Structures are given as structure tokens and as C-alpha cells.
Chain A
Amino acid sequence: MSELRISSIETRGVPGKKRYAMVIDLRRCIGCMACQVACKAEFDVPLGVFRTWVPYKVVGKYPTVRKMFMPRLCNHCDDPPCVRSCPVEATYKVEDGGFVLQRYERCIGCKACMASCPYNARFMLPRHRSYTNITSVVDKCTFCHHRVSQGMVPACVQTCVGRSRIFGDLNDPGSEVSYLVNTLPTQVLRPEEGTKPHVFYIGADRNHTEIGRTIYDPSDVMNAERVMFEKNQRS
């Protein structure tokens, strides 16, 4: 069956083109955060901001409890609102592969892309960094474009001890991601936004992946962390 494509920017199912995707099998994630650390090391991601992060929630009441890990990253959406909203095309989609990338030298820092991303996948780089001069522009996960174009998998996938993260070309019917997406029930985050995310979750529970009522009454611990994050990001 052919794919339903609404906008011309979409590359899933386009013959002759690659469409990279990630499957995250939540049944296998043990919350070790090795992916988060590998990503920090790969890109010298500054304090307080993340290209990938692993939030968790304790779900249920004793004795029926479970810790739900939810690895997050840019979804390299097939119809990305961030690309649409950037006034100077500083963020763009690579047609062959579907990577959504940044042109750092062009970004004016208007943050329209951050406002339009439903997944908080984007962040502003601080003014001062020790090892790189890419500062004060918006950054995000690249699906490790530099590694994938050399035939490797992203750093987070390489390091995942539970083999929870699987990466590959969804347009190749023989790839592992195609097999998983085609044979198992998968979920994407906020499908109603029409972004067509290319990070697929196995075992995600929509009751816990949506914006929850706890927002109105966040615990003190959460607020203390929020203050710390804000302080880090401003310095």
C-alpha cells in the first residue's frame, strides 16, 4: 500500500530515497541514561540542555508500580513545523535520509523553531562554550548525520546497553526498523500535531506520554530543578 503524503516535504515511502527512523523499545529500556551521556560526549552538549534525554515517571501505587522511562529526542518529523517556521531556512530537511538539520552560521536566534516544535527538541546554545565556537544559536539532535553518512549508527544507538534503540532506513523493507514498525504496534508522540514523527515507541502508554494534570501542582522538587535548569541556561 502506498504512503499517504500530504505535503511535498515528506520522504517516507518515496522510491529511491532513504528515510531514517528510530524505534525505541520501552520494554528494553533500563533507564541507565548511557544514551544521554554518549550524546553529551559526541557533541559537547552544554550543561542544562539535551539533544536526547530520558525522563522517567513512577507509575501506579505500591505494590503495583513501575518506573516508566521515556527516551526523548528530535523526531526528525516528516512534516516538521520547525522547518516551516524558520524565516531564513536555517533549519532544513535533508531530502535523502529525512534528517532535520541546522545551518548554524545562518540562524538569527529568533526561536520560532523552538516555539513550533511540539516536542521541546530544540534549545538555545549558551553564549560561552569551552571547546567549540558554535554559540547563541539554536541546536538539536541531528540523528548523528555525521556518523550515519559514514555507515555508522547514532551514538545513542551504539551505546544503548538494553538494545532499546534501533536505527535504520524505513524505506528499506528489509531493515530492522521496517520489520519492527510493520509487525508490532508502535506509537509516536503527539500524533495529532500532524508532524509525522520518525521516532517510534514500542510499549509507550499514551496515558503517560501526554501533558498531565500534575502541571498545575508540580512538586517542590520539580520546581527546585526547574530553577536550577533556568540558572544554568542563562549563564
Chain B
Amino acid sequence: MGDYTVFHLMPWSGAYAIYFFTIGISAALFFFSTRSWFPTGQALVPIRTSAAYVSFALLAISGLLLIGDLSQPMRFLNIMNPAYLNFASPLAWGGLNLISFGIASVLYIKALKQNDEKNAKFFGVIGSLLALGLPVYTGFDLTVHQNRPVWNTPLMPVLFVAMSLVSGSAVAAMLAKGKEAALAKLRWHMLWEGGAVGVMLIALLGTTAYGGSGSELTFILMTSGSLGLIFVGLGILLGTAAPIAVLLTSFGRQHAGILAAAGLLLVGGMALRYSILIGGQIVQTYF
């Protein structure tokens, strides 16, 4: 009673979670499009073009979201100024990664339109490596803040790569409409990558629950507190465990089952990104 403190706002709002979501899907769709040029990815040929286009559209949306979230949007050009760049910051690497991925995407789409297999493969592989960098850097963006519970774990970049692949396969499954071989391949992706996300979430819950006072409080807030419904309800149960269960049943091998699981995985992917982003910031606002 009678206490007084100054309240602080969370620096990164929920809008960043939308960015994490769209950029993750963009990266994974590019990877699936590229895979279709190689023998092991033949099943993905039907989504080769649509995945590339949707990936590029989402990249453009992500860029706008990122710029729109800056309080000085026009100064996004500063991040391309070599005289300013601070390479100790993952954001600087992220900016360069985004730009180079954008260039690789344009060159890949050009080769794709000309049906130039050699160049499509070349720019596809380069672009896929850059695409991998996108979830990796978003993970690092969070990991490097040593004072933040949930974020400050080496798991983050890997978790973001897995979440990118899960959400990307879910969107790819929606693009694959009725193409049996593609759907079967994407079902396999959703199942294993969804499983990997599930395992990592268990590890994340463990380290958060036993991570000191700030982490313990964050664990409480994320599981039974204000984020409980989003993190546990939508993210873990409805958005990760339920779709895996669906995919394991015979219904999950049918077209409708795969699409239902894909929808749930997308809901889960968004909920997990949101709650990880916000969860890492709650307790500090009271410090």
C-alpha cells in the first residue's frame, strides 16, 4: 500500500509478432519452392510458382510492417548506410539479410518465369540460405537481451526456424489444393516440424519455470496468468498438440484433415510468436 513507481511500456508491441509470423512463412515458402527443383522435392512442383509469389508478397508486407513499426519510418534507410551500421546488433544483420533475400527472390522469380532451371536452382539455393537467416536473426533479436526471461535462451533461433517451417508448410498445404503427392509431403513436414516445436516448447517451459525470480513470474504469467489462454490454450494445445493429433489419425491423411491441421498450426504459430514476444517483456515493465 502507498507504493509509488513509474510504469514502463513494453518496447516491442504485438505488431512485431505479425512480422515474425509473415517473415517466417515467406522464408519457408521460398525454401519449398526451391526444393521442387531437386529430385527429393518433386512432389512440390505444383506449388513451385505460387509459393514463390506468396513468399515475395509476404516479404513485401513484412518489410512494410517493420518499417511502419519504427517511430521514424523514413529513417529505415539508415540501416543501409555502411557508415552507421553496428554489426554487434542482430538488427543490423537482419536488415542486410532482408534486403539480400529480397534481391535473391527477384532473381529467382525471374529465372522461374523464364523456366531457366540452372539459374532458378542457383538463386533458389542462395535465397534459401538467406531465407534460413530470417528466422535465425529474429530469434537472435530476442536471445541477445540477457535481461529478458523466455527470450534469453539459445533455443530461440532454432525455435523460430522450426516455427517458420511449420507455418510455411501450413500455407503451402493450402496452396497445394488437391495435389495428393504435395499434400503428403507437406503433411510429413507439418508433423515433424510441429513435433520439434512441441519438444522445444517443453524445454522452454522448463528453463523459464526454474530460471530465477523474473523467469518464474514470467512462467506464471504465461501459463496461468494474462497470457495463459493465448500461450497454453491457443499456442500449445489448439495450435501444436491438436494438429499433430489430427495428422496422426486417418482423417489427418485426407485432404480435409491436412487443411484442418494446417489452419490450427497457423493459429498456433501466431499465438506462440505473440506470447513469446510479450511474455519476455511483462515483468520488466514493473521493475
Contact = CB atoms under 8 A, between A and B. Distances in A.
B251 interface: no
A57 to B, nearest CB: 5
Interface stretch (A15-23, A167-175, A179-187, A210-218): A210-218
A43 interface: no
Contact of B89 (A50, A53, A86, A138): A86
Contacts of B281: 115
A115 B213 contact: no
B144 A85 contact: yes
Contacts of A112: 11, 89, 91, 141
Interface string B3-36: 1111111011000000000000000000000000
Given A211-B214, A211-B217, A86 B283 contact: no
B72 A116 contact: no
B147 interface: yes
Given A57-B3, A120-B8, A88 B84 contact: yes
Interface in A122-136: 123-124, 136
A193 B287 CA distance: 14
Interface stretch (B75-83, B165-173, B238-246, B263-271): B75-83
Interface stretch (A94-102, A149-157, A197-205, A224-232): A224-232
Contacts of B225: 216
B189 to A, nearest CB: 32
B146 interface: yes
B75 A109 contact: yes
B85 A108 contact: no
A81 B286 contact: no
Most buried by B among A56, A57, A85, A229: A85
B86 interface: yes
A10 to B, nearest CB: 15
Contacts of A88: 78-79, 81, 84-86, 92
Nearest to B89: A87
A26 interface: no
Contacts of B86: 84, 86-89
A233 interface: yes
A55 interface: yes
A152 to B, nearest CB: 26
Nearest to B282: A215
Nearest to B2: A58
Contact of A115 (B70, B85, B88, B145): B145
B284 interface: yes
A85 B145 contact: yes
Nearest to A105: B75
B147 A56 contact: no
Contacts of A120: 8, 284-285, 287
Contact of B84 (A89, A111, A215): A89
B148 interface: yes
Contacts of A210: 213
A230 B79 contact: no
B131 to A, nearest CB: 21
B71 A194 contact: no
B3 A87 contact: no
A148 interface: no
A211 B282 CA distance: 11
Interface string B107-151: 000000000000000000000000000000000010011111000
Contacts of A114: 11
Contacts of B75: 106-109
Contacts of B11: 111-112, 114-115
A41 interface: no
B125 to A, nearest CB: 28
Nearest to A85: B89
Contacts of A57: 3
Contacts of A53: 6
A123 B11 CA distance: 8
B147 A85 contact: no
Contact of B1 (A50, A72, A86, A219): A219
Contacts of B78: 88, 90, 106, 108
Given A115-B148, A115-B281, A55 B5 contact: yes
A81 B92 contact: no
A198 B185 CA distance: 57
Interface of B: 1-9, 11-12, 69-72, 75-76, 78-79, 81, 84-86, 88-92, 94-95, 141, 144-148, 213-214, 217, 220-221, 225, 281-287
10 contacts: A87-B85, A87-B89, A88-B78, A88-B79, A88-B92, A120-B284, A210-B213, A216-B217, A216-B220, A222-B7
Which 10 A-B pairs give the minimum distances between C-beta atoms? Answer: A109-B71, A118-B147, A114-B11, A87-B91, A55-B5, A111-B11, A87-B92, A88-B84, A108-B75, A136-B71
